[in-house]
Chain A
Amino acid sequence: MTALAGLRVLVVEDEYLLARQLERALRRDGADVVAVAPSVAAALAALAAGALPDVAVLDLNLAGEKAYPVAAALRAAAIPFAFASGYDAADRDPAYADAPHLNKPLTMATLRGCLARLVGRAAG
């Protein structure tokens, strides 16, 4: 059993190659990637479709649009999430200061530990 086994994860990332890589890495770790979305609209649609995850990774900047509406929806549904961004944490909306901030490029070890902590599992 890995730390992420069976964990339902939503990936919001606009860069296809990064999204695909993240999805594959999470699957290798035993996670269940419920949706991969390139935009706020696609992410909200995935949540509305009922694919509710246990945890989410949000790229902060989605082709120029900020991922905050997705963060708000996740917060409303009490789903924990982490931001991943090429920008510094200091540039972030202070309303979401409590969410972990992962610097890009992501490493699987960091992501694994972060997601495990968010759902209250041991980092494995």
Chain B
Amino acid sequence: MHVPDPPVPAVTALGDYDWASTPLGAPAGWSPALRAAVAESLAARAPADPPAPSAAAALDALFDAAPLGLGIWDRELRFVRVNASLAQMNGLPPEAHIGFTPRELLPDIAGIDALMERWRTIVDTGEPWLDVEVHGGTPANSDKQRSWREHFFPIRSGDRVVGIGAVVEETTERARVEAALRASEARFREFAEASSDVLWLFDMDSAQFEYLSPPLRKLYGVAAAASGRGAPLRFDWRASIVEEDREVAATTLRRVRQGERVTHDFRARIPGSGKVRWLKNTAFPLREPDGRVSHIGGIAQDVTEERDTAARLQMLIGELQHRTRNLMGVIQAVAESTLEASADLADFARAFSARLDALSRVQQLLSRIEGLERVGFDQLLRSELAAFGALPEEDARVSLAGPRGVPLRSGGIQTLALALHELITNSVKYGALSQPGATLSVRWALLPVAAGERPRLRFDWEERGVAMPARDDSPERVGQGRELIERAVPYQLEATVDYALTADGVRCAMVLPVSQTLAKGAAA
């Protein structure tokens, strides 16, 4: 921020007095403030008409009215004269200064002894000492640390230095403001450096970043600016934005420059790895006091994972919706076909309920798997057998033999479950599981696969020792069950099915493609 100087009076406003021969020197070398003070007091004292004021009167006026602290010491550094401004800074009346040294009056000035030494050098050498920062307390307010900018120059009489003149400007407030600014900026940096979000500051004039917080510096491979705010970080940030998103980024800068606050997503390519990350960026204008947008501030967040998760969720929801709608249709179809084959409502209720149970069991199996996992054939078979208390550990007539975890393809698993359900239901009603002397053996194995062929599972259902019922006993439902086994499974699973009612009991062999990706490892 730059505060404009007040208008500085021209040198001519200071009259034609020979200032150069005074300790103040030629007006051209004066500070603007001194020049203003002299001009003001000359104007105030100027009579309606000449004569011009005497040089001594002008100097007195200047000395008394100057808003700067002015003081004169003798060779022993004792105050000879102080003006009202300096007396006020020191917290002592002007007359209380006379005859005392700064060391005696102002012991709380930092490094006063060293200052005294340095002032003595001026007396000795006649060299001025300018632009001196002085800090410390004064009797005016001894608790408060204040600061001044001071100039010291020799006062000569002929060749001899007879004393020292001092010009003192209080800078306490300015120093305080500057310190507060520094602290505030340091705090901002601490926040910015600690944040996992990316904070950045873009300078419109240089079209470069002034600040990038660590995550983005890392992303762009930019070193932190050593000198803090103001030093542009030169790197080709445009090139790091993926091409399709550059137009949006440029539009955003334009809109923010016009005063808008804009949030948009873009992709950045990480140098080196070339990986693309999604960033959500909010950019806002930072204005100068005159309203001009000089900088653009931004907060960016890496939303790559967030976006991936959202996309995955969206896909899962779509999948779930699809599965649910499909299942509703299947239930409707099962109800319809069960109704066609039912003798009465009680008969329908029993058969429909049993089929719904089979569908629920397979849904449970499906709901327990995640991602690319598949339901194993043994899981499906055992879950159906368990529903009838027909696991080998529950029913001595039953024996199972085959590898665990042969992964079934998800499409068609419901139909396979219903087919297994029909095999078991028929067995429980009319087959091996309905008769004490009979046995049921279920064997399965992965078939050897030629290169490029899909893995296939062969499954053999074999009932033995069954006294087969008379033809009349076999109701229409058996036919319906056979439709699921002999028609639905081949249709939907691209399976071959060989179903036979032998004199000894039911034999059913199926060969069906299984899931490709995980079959090998899971069956090993």
Cross-chain contact B322 with A21 (CB below 8 angstroms): no
Is B321 an interface residue, CB under 8 A from the partner?
Answer: yes
Would you give the 0/1 interface string for A69-93, flagging 1 where the beta carbon is closer than 8 Å to chain B?
0000000000000000111100100
Cross-chain contact A103 with B412 (CB below 8 angstroms): no
Number of A-B contacts defined by CB within 8 Å: 70
Residues in chain A near residue B332, CB distance under 8 A? 21, 105
List B residues 369-425 near A (Cβ within 8 Å). Answer: 409-412, 414-415
Residues in chain B near residue A85, CB distance under 8 A? 322
Residues in chain A near residue B414, CB distance under 8 A? 15
Residues in chain B near residue A113, CB distance under 8 A? none
Is B360 an interface residue, CB under 8 A from the partner?
Answer: no
Cross-chain contact B336 with A16 (CB below 8 angstroms): no
Residues in chain B near residue A88, CB distance under 8 A? 318, 321
Cross-chain contact A16 with B328 (CB below 8 angstroms): no
Is B368 an interface residue, CB under 8 A from the partner?
Answer: no
Is A20 an interface residue, CB under 8 A from the partner?
Answer: yes
Cross-chain contact A17 with B333 (CB below 8 angstroms): yes
- Chain B CB within 10 A, most for which of A16, A64, A87, A103: A16
List A residues 33-81 near B (Cβ within 8 Å). Answer: 38-39, 61, 63-64
Is B330 an interface residue, CB under 8 A from the partner?
Answer: yes
Chain B interface size band reads 20 to 34
Cross-chain contact A21 with B333 (CB below 8 angstroms): yes
Q: A85-B322, A91-B318 given as contacts; is B329 within 8 A of A18 (CB)? A: yes
Cross-chain contact A21 with B411 (CB below 8 angstroms): no
Cross-chain contact A15 with B329 (CB below 8 angstroms): yes
- Chain A CB within 10 A, most for which of B318, B334, B409, B484: B318
Is B326 an interface residue, CB under 8 A from the partner?
Answer: yes
Cross-chain contact B492 with A21 (CB below 8 angstroms): no
Question: A104 is contacted by which of B318, B328, B487 (Cβ under 8 Å)?
Answer: B328
- Chain A CB within 10 A, most for which of B322, B329, B409, B411: B329
Cα(A19)–Cα(B488), bound, Å: 10
Cross-chain contact A17 with B415 (CB below 8 angstroms): yes
Is B188 an interface residue, CB under 8 A from the partner?
Answer: no
List B residues 338-385 near A (Cβ within 8 Å). Answer: none
Cα(A61)–Cα(B414), bound, Å: 16
User: In the complex, which residue of chain B has the Cβ closest to the Cβ of A106?
Assistant: B329
Residues in chain B near residue A18, CB distance under 8 A? 326, 329-330, 333
Residues in chain B near residue A19, CB distance under 8 A? 491
- Which 3 A-B residue pairs are closest in the complex by CB-CB distance? A63-B411, A86-B325, A86-B322
Additional pairs, 4, CB under 8 Å, beyond known A63-B409, A87-B318 = A15-B330, A16-B489, A63-B412, A91-B318
